[in-house]
Amino acid sequence: PDRDHLVACLPKCELHIHIEGSLEPEMVFALARRNHIRLPWDSVEALRRAYAFGSLQDFLDVYYVGMSVLVTEHDFYDLALAYLRRAHADNVVHVEMFFDPQGHTSRGIAFDTVVNGLSRACTQAREELGIRASLIMCVLRHLDEADAQRTLDAALAHRDRIVGVGLDSSEKGNPPEKFARVFARARDAGFSLFAHAGEEGPPDYVWQALDVLGVARVDHGNRALEDDVLVARLARDRVPLTVCPLSNLRLRVVDDLRHHPLRHMMEKGLAVTVNSDDPAYFGGYVNDNFSAVARALDLSASDIVALARSSFTAAMMTDAERAAAL
């Protein structure tokens, strides 16, 4: 009530959103019809029933089929614009948007089609709504290094429209070091670097994200709490963690939001932010994530303000941009 009102009013940045994870079931069916694509579900309700996930992999299996309805530049534009309007309604003023090019190029969609559609939506949303949005290309870690290198080659042709490179998909068995050379090249090209780590994978994967890849932020990072030395390192260097409470609940990273580690992370001096991850699949956009975790952990108004403020500190913004956005 009061808490939800505060959450709604605060300006925020969203730093962990997979644009393909904002594809709502209704849009999945609308685009399937538009593009004459057959789906393994016969209704919106049947698709929603498939959203009972036991693990990250259960989710990814549905996520990659869901995104197969995205074919034309117009589809990517519609997807991103719908998300940016929704984020704007949540008082999000700055978005760093992940996208998964290999989820599309593997189906024969051109890299350009994806980037053109997404970036056109970002430009339009900035002009019409004032919301700032940039693109971070993620490497699918379940695929091999050569595929990642080819994807980076394609990104280099769009260096002006992509600000960073991230790492996502099936974490277990796919350590960050698998992509050491890809990230070294991305760094040389001037991209900011990010990686999902410690969502399901061990603390060692968070160490690798920091020390082998050299990331500026860790996405999730929950399991870092199992290693006190790692926690001290993250706190000392103020490495932001982009935490996603409803995702963690729906993917069984936590069994109950009341057991979510967000409060412990804050108490240990970690630079935590609250984000939605894949809002269409996990039951809520960024304000829903703030409200749900604040209620479950009984966070105070000043905790909520600190989390919203932290999203600006963790964002890839200059001080001047930060001042202008606030």
Taking CB under 6 A as the criterion, the residue among 24, 90, 277, 288 binding ligand ADE is: 277
Task: State which residue, 29 or 98, has the beta carbon closest to Zn ion.
Answer: 98
Binding residues for ligand ADE, how many (CB under 6 A)?
A: 11
Binding residues for Zn ion, how many (CB under 5 A)?
A: 1
**Of 190, 314, 300, 307, nearest to 245 (Cα)?**
307
Q: Which single residue brings its beta carbon nearest to ligand ADE? A: 168
Taking CB under 6 A as the criterion, the residue among 14, 78, 278, 288 binding ligand ADE is: 278
* Distance in angstroms between the alpha carbons of the first and the last residue of the chain: 24
Distance CA(47)–CA(79), nearest Å, equals 18
Give the nearest distance from C-beta 171 to ligand ADE in angstroms: 6
Residue 104 as a binder of ligand ADE (CB under 6 A): the answer is no
Residue 247 as a binder of ligand ADE (CB under 6 A): the answer is yes
Residue 310 as a binder of ligand ADE (CB under 6 A): the answer is no
Taking CB under 5 A as the criterion, the residue among 20, 100, 277, 288 binding Zn ion is: 277
Dihedral sign of CA atoms 135, 322, 326, 312 in order: positive
Span interacting with Zn ion, options 24-32, 140-148, 175-183, 271-279, rule CB under 5 A:
271-279
Task: State which residue, 136 or 304, has the beta carbon closest to ligand ADE.
Answer: 136
Q: Which residue has the tokens 């704007």?
A: 88
Residues in contact with ligand ADE, shown as a per-residue x/- string from 187 to 216 under the rule CB under 6 A: ---------x--x-----------------
Task: State which residue, 139 or 210, has the beta carbon closest to ligand ADE.
Answer: 139
Tell me if residue 13 falls in helix, strand or coil: strand
Residue 168 as a binder of ligand ADE (CB under 6 A): the answer is yes
Task: State which residue, 191 or 281, has the beta carbon closest to ligand ADE.
Answer: 281
Q: Please indicate whether residue 14 is annotated as part of the active site.
A: no
**Of 51, 246, 64, nearest to 138 (Cα)?**
64
Tell me the C-alpha to C-alpha distance, in Å, between residue 208 and each of 176, 205, 221, 242, 320: 6, 5, 12, 17, 32
Q: Decide: 16 and 242 in contact? Cβ < 8 Å.
A: yes
Give the nearest distance from C-beta 174 to ligand ADE in angstroms: 10
Residues 15-44 interacting with ligand ADE (rule: CB under 6 A)? 18, 21
Give the nearest distance from C-beta 42 to Zn ion in angstroms: 29
Among residues 73, 96, 171, 199, the one annotated as catalytic is: 199
Give the nearest distance from C-beta 100 to ligand ADE in angstroms: 7
**Of 237, 223, 213, 156, nearest to 189 (Cα)?**
156
The C-alpha torsion from 194 through 172 and 49 to 68, rounded to 10°, is: 60
Residue 288 as a binder of Zn ion (CB under 5 A): the answer is no
- Ramachandran assignment for 304, one of left (phi > 0), alpha (psi -120 to 50 degrees), beta (any other): alpha
Dihedral sign of CA atoms 290, 294, 297, 303 in order: positive
Angle between helices 145-156 and 111-129 (to 10 degrees): 50
Tell me the C-alpha to C-alpha distance, in Å, between residue 290 and each of 55, 128, 304, 308: 22, 26, 8, 9
Residue 14 as a binder of ligand ADE (CB under 6 A): the answer is no
What type of residue sits at position 108?
G
Task: State which residue, 18 or 94, has the beta carbon closest to ligand ADE.
Answer: 18
Distance CA(161)–CA(177), nearest Å, equals 26
Q: Tell me the catalytic residues.
A: 199
By CB under 5 A, name the binding residues for Zn ion: 277
By CB under 6 A, name the binding residues for ligand ADE: 18, 21, 56, 63, 168-169, 196, 199, 247, 277-278
